[in-house]
Amino acid sequence: MRVSDDLSITQDIKGVTMYREKIRVLDCTIRDGGLINNHDFDDRFVRAVYTGVAKAGVDYIELGYKNSRELFSSSEYGHWKFCDDDDISRVIDGVDTNIKVSTMVDVGRVDIDDVRPAADSPVDMIRVASYVKDIDKAIFLANHFSDKGYETTINIMAISRDSGPQFEEALHQIKEDCLAQAVYIVDSFGALYQETTEDLIKRAQAILDSKEVGFHGHNNQQLAFSNTIEAIIHDANYLDGTVYGIGRAAGNCPLELLIGFLKNPKFDIRPILDLISNEFIPLREKIEWGYIIPYAITGMMNEHPRTAMKLRNSDKKESYRDYYEELLGSMQ
Amino acid sequence: MRVSDDLSITQDIKGVTMYREKIRVLDCTIRDGGLINNHDFDDRFVRAVYTGVAKAGVDYIELGYKNSRELFSSSEYGHWKFCDDDDISRVIDGVDTNIKVSTMVDVGRVDIDDVRPAADSPVDMIRVASYVKDIDKAIFLANHFSDKGYETTINIMAISRDSGPQFEEALHQIKEDCLAQAVYIVDSFGALYQETTEDLIKRAQAILDSKEVGFHGHNNQQLAFSNTIEAIIHDANYLDGTVYGIGRAAGNCPLELLIGFLKNPKFDIRPILDLISNEFIPLREKIEWGYIIPYAITGMMNEHPRTAMKLRNSDKKESYRDYYEELLGSMQ
């Protein structure tokens, strides 16, 4: 009976704990939040988030993308678009914590020569974001970074559009050829709900076997947290969240809700509450994310939020019906 | 396999539709929203909501409570605390629609002599809100209103605190003695998630047999919509929502998300989008509801939101850690 999967009554394999020790929480506040401010968070803010998230007992913190400066200009983007080791060291040095640092790379946007061996870097993990069609390139990158000593994952994006036979083929290939320790299902469009999440997690697990499965939700339809719970129920162990749900468009699974749900006593919600009170309530006055109707509409329609983001920057930002009709029209 | 319960692949008993025809959506925007403004919506606003919700194809609209004027003063509360037939007729007359009108009564707060026979009233349904312990009184009221010709339901509140043997006893009693057509599981504290929702819905169904089961969520942890989906998956057919999620504290399941999810072609999201653009975006500037950290905390802790509502009306409204510590302390 499904209810017997309830975390609160699941016994750990050691037989004594109520929580699942294998669960790893990754905070990607600075990385996904950076998508709404050109990755231009100042050092004080990043250090505050790093410190708070570390105190909360979170396992990993992702600070941004490792993009090539050949492709993006330093004058247009902040530090966290490039994640130089020196910038990372400056914001994390002196904080007493075991939290691991992650950066993300996009297929086709990283210069692998920019990445030093892990032994010489403050970065512990590199996550490779990829569409299904680019999985060969993603495997190459993940293996390259694994060889340099990093923990690696592959994060398969736009999964709600691409969950057919090619998705399974990609998973088989990752299983055969890739050193990555985990594969994330990324609901880029915020289009999944419980049953579709369950289906994807189970299919990934069946193919990947000993690799871990992760989940990264988007909150277009207020389902990022519940889909993350659904992933937990079906044994996904790598879970993403962001403080106060910050992230592009509708944002992500709120880290405070995830921490509040998990039973592992190593987690402490209080430093996250402080971050929200002191940093994110003021920040939300300046930049926008969260439950906003045009993003809900793209989620329902399984569309990229880009047209909705454009709408929110126009003088028609609250013209929901017109936007809905336009989007419907553009799909026909 | 659970995925096969997906609405999109469920065949209706008639064998041709993709949706479940038995599903009934009830909008309680004015009723639950009234809890944050002393039920003091003006006639123009109520008529706009009624018209939009009706156009969207929603089955029922609930306009407020039927409270005794012996207990509450008309000078302190708006019309929708009392729901006089004349007030209802004034806002609905002339709108061409088949939507049914509902009012809610609380055990111990209604004077049954205030309620005319259904044949003489614009009201079609009366929902009786009750705690488990008051179920005998609720059954009396539901049967009384059924005898007067109304459709009736019993809405069992605070279910996350009261889901033990007495809950089942109450259900047995309703099954034996009550004329109500449906029994709602009401997650008053926003404390349920998928597995607990599934458990309650299944237990209610197993006992109630031929009566319908309903679900009313609260959105403290951004789980009202997903819990409503979970209820749908397990065959609950009476579903509550409110426009833009308005409702006390964290509010309710957003009606626009529910309409967007359901497959019945009779539903049209557009009139709801208009209501949000024209009425609810401006209203949200004046009164507060939604995802607000102190309400998330009461949800996590399975507590009534009253202390959080008090906090939000104080000068410490963003002092989340202190509030968390206080609430923890008060529970010990």
pLDDT at B72: 97
Give start and end residues of each alpha helix (H) in B4-96: 29-33, 43-55, 85-92
pLDDT at A12: 44
CB count in 10 Å sphere of residue B137: 14
Cα gap B91→B101, rounded to integer Å: 11
DSSP type of residue A127 = E
**Helix (H) or strand (E) segment spanning residue A62:** strand A60-65
Inter-chain residue contact B198 with A321, CB threshold 8 Å = no
Is residue A233 within 8 angstroms of chain B, CB to CB?
yes
pLDDT at A13: 44
Q: Which of residues 302-321 of B touch A (CB under 8 A)?
A: 318-321
ipTM score assigned to the predicted complex: 0.94
DSSP type of residue A99 = P
Residues of A in contact with B256 (CB under 8 A): 293, 296
Helix, strand, coil % (nearest 5) of chain A? 45, 15, 40
List, for residues A121-132, the tens digit of each pLDDT value: 999 999 999 999
SS3 of residue B6 by DSSP = coil
Residues of chain B with CATH 3.20.20.70: 21-286
Question: Are A164 and A194 a contacting pair, CB within 8 Å?
Answer: no
List, for residues B195-229, the tens digit of each pLDDT value: 999 999 999 999 999 999 999 999 999 999 999 99
- Residue A153, beta-bridge partner list: A127, A182
Structure tokens at A304: 């990229």
Q: In angstroms, what separates the C-alpha of B320 from chain A's closest C-alpha?
A: 6
Residues of A in contact with B321 (CB under 8 A): 270, 273-274, 277
With bands split at pLDDT 50, 70 and 90, how would you rate the model's confidence at A9?
Answer: very low
Cα gap A285→B325, rounded to integer Å: 26
Cα gap A312→A323, rounded to integer Å: 11
Q: Is A104 exposed, middle or buried (0-12, 13-18, 19+ CB in 10 A)?
A: buried
- The distance in angstroms from the start CA to the end CA of chain A is 42
List, for residues A162-207, the tens digit of each pLDDT value: 889 999 999 999 999 999 999 999 999 999 999 999 999 999 999 9
Structure tokens at B206: 């197993």
Q: How many residues does chain A have?
A: 332
Q: Which of residues 146-205 of B touch A (CB under 8 A)?
A: 193-196, 198-199
Calculate mean pLDDT across residues B107-113. Answer: 97
Classify domain A20-286 by CATH number: 3.20.20.70
A158 conformational bin, left if phi > 0, alpha if psi -120 to 50, beta if neither: left
List, for residues A228-246, the tens digit of each pLDDT value: 999 999 999 999 999 999 9
Nearest chain B residue to A274, by CA = B321
Is residue B11 over pLDDT 90? no
Question: Are A259 and A292 a contacting pair, CB within 8 Å?
Answer: no
Cβ contacts of residue B262 below 8 Å, gap of 6+?
B7, B19, B23, B25
CA angle B75, B242, A284 (to 5 degrees): 95
Contacts of residues A295-298 at CB distance under 8 Å and 24 or more positions apart, as own/partner, are: A295/A190, A295/A220, A295/A249, A295/A250, A296/A220, A296/A221, A296/A222, A296/A250, A296/B254, A296/B256, A296/B257, A296/B260, A297/A323, A297/A324, A297/A327, A297/B260, A297/B273, A298/A189, A298/A190, A298/A220, A298/A249, A298/A327
With bands split at pLDDT 50, 70 and 90, how would you rate the model's confidence at B115?
Answer: very high
Residues of B in contact with A319 (CB under 8 A): 277
Q: In angstroms, what separates the C-alpha of A138 from chain B's closest C-alpha?
A: 30
pLDDT at A300: 97
- Residue A240, beta-bridge partner list: A26
What's the CATH class of domain B21-286?
A: alpha beta
Calculate mean pLDDT across residues A89-109. Answer: 97
Q: Which of residues 255-284 of B touch A (CB under 8 A)?
A: 256-257, 260-261, 269-270, 273-274, 276-277, 281
Cα gap B245→B197, rounded to integer Å: 19
Question: Are B233 and B225 a contacting pair, CB within 8 Å?
Answer: no
Is residue A3 over pLDDT 60? no
List, for residues B32-82, the tens digit of each pLDDT value: 999 999 999 999 999 999 999 999 999 999 999 999 999 999 999 999 999
pLDDT at A331: 81
A176 conformational bin, left if phi > 0, alpha if psi -120 to 50, beta if neither: alpha
Residues of chain A with CATH 3.20.20.70: 20-286
